[in-house]
Amino acid sequence: MNKKVLVIGASGSGKTYLTKELRKFGLHTVDADLLEGFASWFDGKGNNIVFPENADKTFFDNHSFLWEKDFLINYLKDKENIYLFGLSGNVFELIDLFDKVYFLQVPPAVLEKRLQHVSRENPMGKTEEQRKIAVDYAKEIEEKARKLNIEFIDGTLIPNEIYQLIK
């Protein structure tokens, strides 16, 4: 059966790591952050902007990281058995494009630790203020995922255990 699966979770929940690890099990996994032209930061007027490394609460209150719906529709059109990992400010508006959606749930203390890990490539979480914002936002998106009856996965499980849940 051809399926399109979306795995969402807060910054630091392990999406990028799982994208790489689950490929070892033969899954066609894609990190949404690596899709050129798919997502961007926008200001309140709709202008595309660059994410500043020192982004603070004011920045996050006035800017959004959004996925481009038409890009996603075209990207998924010819894909078979794809697992897309990512998160955006409009992700919940796009879940109907997928056959299955999962939410990677991770305790706040684990998120903070992962956001500070030296191997982390994503710029979000470089400052203490960004980590606090990320943990607070994680609570918001978790609540929204719950209201939408999205299936939760324990993001602290090892990749093999997560693979068994989503394959």
CA of 118: how far to CAs of 39, 127, 140, in Å?
A: 24, 13, 26
Looking at residue 139, which CATH number applies to its domain? 3.40.50.300
Mean pLDDT of the 42-60 span: 91
Lowest mean pLDDT among 24-38, 43-57, 141-155: 43-57
How many domains is the chain partitioned into structurally?
Answer: 1
79-112: pLDDT as tens digits: 989 999 999 999 999 999 999 999 999 999 999 9
Q: State the pairing for strand pair 63-67/39-43.
A: antiparallel
Query: Quick one: 110 exposed, middle or buried, by C-beta within 10 A (0-12, 13-18, 19+)?
Result: middle
| Domain range for 154 | 4-166
Looking at residue 1, its pLDDT comes to: 60
